[in-house]
Structure 1
């Protein structure tokens, strides 16, 4: 049998070894150790500030905790399953260092508000790191877009050729997705940055604590106004996992496009050796592993969000052991999002090249200019719906004849409708088709250049 735990004096015997292993979270919540130490140092200072312990005791606790931190960083302190969780591990080692005064650290505190504090300290740190990665990702998108304002690429709806667009315009769509991600995480941060420290197990404490003092030490914006809510709330974690899932949606969508673009059927890009792998039996292949992995890893982040929702949906107030299951999903989602952002940033920055000649050819080999023919007629007084039907018939007969619209003779155009003149050929060139879409937010070159200026301005916002 295992050694009796700190909480186990109520019990006649210790946990069964298998149950102890099942119950323990130290294998994964060790991730929180430095945040636990930081939170405990603030709690110790508050206890001394309010006179619950002496200033000498508070200083001993603070310094002892700092020694635990340094021992952990130097790998001298590596707690195992016998300590159950990171909180007991730190407290046990602290008591070994400073003696019985270490047993005073847990005064006016429960593991319930302690773990809530640790998780929030961890998550707000990770949110800031992810937001910086989003800025790096956006910067690469803008860098490439600035070089490709007048590079044209087929635009698609329903995965069918629709209208040509500026490649810069296409990439800036992902810039704006990332901008929403960046802003969304800022909003999530505001609800992460609320202190539950001092809520106790569920009902507060009889000691004259100062929750605002410890919150200020830890740079929390607010404290929970209800102790039951403070120890049982995981809305902030659900919101983070939702935001993380949306980031992964955006990365996965571009991943899918890159996979298609790299295929022989599209041939819009070439993958560089630094970001692709080969086949074990087909020597000619170059596989888009990075975007495929990002696309695949998206599902695991979605799964963590679903798991968290399922954990929370039936929990009565206040803390329940089910909440131990929140951490692995949060940790894995953080690590997955950060790894995918890093990999996709590298891939776009140095792992692929756009095949400009192929792109130039691609926008000339379809009927993506058909809408512009209808617009041409509408601009000359023909009702758009009538013009739309006329052009539909023209496309149908052109396909039957094996022609594109650019191949029609002027006489053929004028037989279709007398409003057509020789300027129709310029109007339906891919470059003019793109340039003409100069409405706000459109793919017209003037709009794209202004959008790039706006994007650079946004990147300077901290």
Structure 2
């Protein structure tokens, strides 16, 4: 056969059809793995020295050429051509153009199967930390807002109905706690992805590259995969990466959903900064939370690519199959989505203005202090099942009169149940309700301040691992 530059074809009598070539060719975005392939090639060159395939001078020439290729690729001076089936074909072609037949010696002892698995794993291991750094920037924005609103009281909701008063800081930190777990999952994923596929070759291992554990350490892994079939056929690390990003996407979407509510005219809790909102092409008055909406929408992509990879994996024999090339599309989609969404969400949260008075005015709507009445009765020996019924009757009494707890007199209380003494009224304020919940994970301001301190310790530990991030 002869497709110039192809990595296969010696047993074929003719070149691939155009339809096959078009289907088989890697999409343009897959070539972003060139830096990882070049790093792996340098490590493989050193393995070939250990195997006696290359001498030290040849290895040095290859390493120098690989460094030059990487520099030119990153500078935009090198681009794949239509004949380059994938990143491996592209880079071998360029290398042979630069150093001749010596470039062809580099292929000994390896396969595109272990190269492909390794390139993506290296890429994900790099990206996981930069994504974590972006999450931590969002964490900092949430914590900064929380510090400003430790004493800002508002309504807490269940079923989107007023439930009990909480501090707004406590509500913000609920999201921050979820994001802290997202980063912990990233750290845990990195630990589990720390074995290199190199040396697996096509599937049986290599008869030449006999010390993949050494190349693995050179590339930042803890070691090499124990089983060559598993090395080239496993993609659970990709599926797990996509679960981590999908869970992060769900958490981002839940925060976005609350921003819609807070920013609505019906709530009017927050005002978005003009630089982090958009308008309408027909309605001049509109100021829309597009960042939150786009985040909610794009979280569906993160869920979809996880599902796609799981479906691709579930029915294939356990070794390398071309179905596995779907892993790159899915991973790149997740990474690209989060690299857009996270900075935008961070900016929106960091710059939103909170209307403290509006929040306070809504804190006791919908009889959100009812639990205080039931708790007051329970502390005086009334079984809580009875206290619950008494409080429910008090709510019905108020609804019938069109009043709230604050409008009640001692006579009103006694008329509902004689066990409702007038001193219960002192408990029926949002401040008293919040302050009473002073336990370890409660919403009392003092508890929230301690929660912030503990969370900042976690964020600091995570930041050491993630690094400062691209910004």
TMscore range, shorter length: over 0.9
Moved over 2 A (4+): 1-6, 49-52, 414-426
Structure 1: give runs of 5+ residues left out of the alignment. none
Structure 2 CA distance for aligned equivalents of residues 32 and 102 of structure 1: 19
Answer with 74-83 or 169-178: which moved more. 74-83
Alignment of 1:197-236 (within 5 A): 197-207=198-208, 209-236=210-237
Matched with 1:440 is 440
CA RMSD of aligned residues (A): 1.4
- SS for the counterpart of 2:68 is helix
Matched with 1:10 is 11
**Residue 28 of structure 1: how far off its partner (Å):** 2.2
Matched, 1:320 2:314: no
Structure 1 CA distance for aligned equivalents of residues 91 and 164 of structure 2: 61
Matched with 1:360 is 360
Structure 2 CA distance for aligned equivalents of residues 199 and 381 of structure 1: 70
CA contact (8 A) 1:145 1:167 kept: yes
Structure 1 CA distance for aligned equivalents of residues 458 and 158 of structure 2: 29
Matched, 1:298 2:309: no
Matched with 2:468 is none
Matched with 1:377 is 377
Structure 2 CA distance for aligned equivalents of residues 95 and 129 of structure 1: 34
Matched with 1:150 is 151
Alignment of 1:235-246 (within 5 A): 235-246=236-247
Answer with 173-182 or 12-21: which moved more. 12-21
- SS for the counterpart of 1:165 is strand
- Residues 107 and 2 of structure 1: CA distance in aligned 2, closer, same or farther (over 3 Å): closer
- SS for the counterpart of 2:165 is strand
Structure 2 CA distance for aligned equivalents of residues 192 and 455 of structure 1: 27
**Residue 133 of structure 1: how far off its partner (Å):** 1.4
**Residue 326 of structure 1: how far off its partner (Å):** 1.2
- SS for the counterpart of 1:52 is coil
Structure 2 CA distance for aligned equivalents of residues 180 and 262 of structure 1: 26
**Residue 432 of structure 1: how far off its partner (Å):** 0.8
CA contact (8 A) 1:231 1:318 kept: yes
- SS for the counterpart of 1:6 is coil
Structure 1 CA distance for aligned equivalents of residues 172 and 356 of structure 2: 15
Counting matched residue pairs gives: 461
Structure 1 CA distance for aligned equivalents of residues 26 and 162 of structure 2: 53
Matched with 1:162 is 163
Alignment of 1:54-453 (within 5 A): 54-207=55-208, 209-350=210-351, 352-453=352-453
Structure 2 CA distance for aligned equivalents of residues 2 and 27 of structure 1: 23
- SS for the counterpart of 2:108 is coil
Structure 1 CA distance for aligned equivalents of residues 124 and 316 of structure 2: 22
Normalized against structure 1, the TM-score is what?
0.97
**Residue 166 of structure 1: how far off its partner (Å):** 0.7
Answer with 244-253 or 136-145: which moved more. 136-145
**Residue 24 of structure 1: how far off its partner (Å):** 0.4
CA contact (8 A) 1:410 1:421 kept: yes
Answer with 86-95 or 443-452: which moved more. 443-452
Structure 2 CA distance for aligned equivalents of residues 95 and 2 of structure 1: 17
Matched with 2:469 is none
CA contact (8 A) 1:367 1:405 kept: yes
- SS for the counterpart of 1:200 is coil
Structure 2: give runs of 5+ residues left out of the alignment. 465-471
CA contact (8 A) 2:377 2:387 kept: yes
- Residues 23 and 415 of structure 1: CA distance in aligned 2, closer, same or farther (over 3 Å): same
Normalized against structure 2, the TM-score is what?
0.95
